[in-house]
Amino acid sequence: MGGVQEIQRELMTRRDCIGLLPYDKNDNQVLLLQQFRPGAINDENGSFVTELVAGLIDDGESPLDAAFRELTEETGLVIENKNKDLLSYIGRFYLSPGACNEQVHLFLAEINLSNIDLSKGYGCKDEGEDIKLIKCSIDEAIDLTKNHSPSNITLLAALLELKLRLK
């Protein structure tokens, strides 16, 4: 009657990553990215996903340093002297713990967005990034993630956290 059943599980091993939501408290705007993602290739709304500034943490790099690096690489924005007071840590979360060990470290970045050029392309060309930036209100961003385009849950989590903190 009751032998031990062997269970096989798959585990995809990946480095941790960061996600960062830039916001400008002076005009109540956030900066979102849209870029091609192969996982969304069959999405009915297209394969360009609306998301945060994001990227893998390099070996020997802290999540905070990765956040500063990715902000510049993906948006052209620079936080002077890597002022840590302008970044706020939300937390660390598993993305898909049923199959993958990757965790995302989420941040908010308080930064002036008034000089951002939305007409040009961004991202690291040598990494195959072709990023379009979108600047909008927090509520417009939440609506966009829920109703109009493929998105990811980390963006919605960061937007909701920002909304709670600004109340």
Write down the pLDDT at residue 71.
Answer: 95
For residue 43, the model assigns a pLDDT of 75
- For residue 132, what pLDDT is reported? 92
Tens of pLDDT along the chain (167 residues) come to 667 899 888 999 999 999 999 999 999 999 999 988 888 788 777 788 899 999 999 999 999 999 999 999 999 999 888 888 899 999 999 999 999 999 999 999 999 999 998 988 888 888 777 899 999 999 999 998 887 678 889 999 999 999 999 98
Q: What is the pLDDT of residue 1?
A: 60
Give the pLDDT confidence score for residue 120 in this predicted structure. 85
CB atoms within 10 A of CB 25: 11
Answer yes or no: are the C-beta atoms of 139 and 159 closer than 8 Å. Answer: no
- What pLDDT sits at residue 54? 95
Distance separating alpha carbons of residues 166 and 40, to the nearest angstrom: 32
The CATH H-level (homologous superfamily) assignment of domain 17-166 is Nucleoside Triphosphate Pyrophosphohydrolase (3.90.79.10)
Domain ranges of the chain: 17-166
What pTM, to 2 d.p., does this model score? 0.90
Phi-psi region of 9 (alpha: psi -120 to 50; beta: other; left: phi over 0): beta
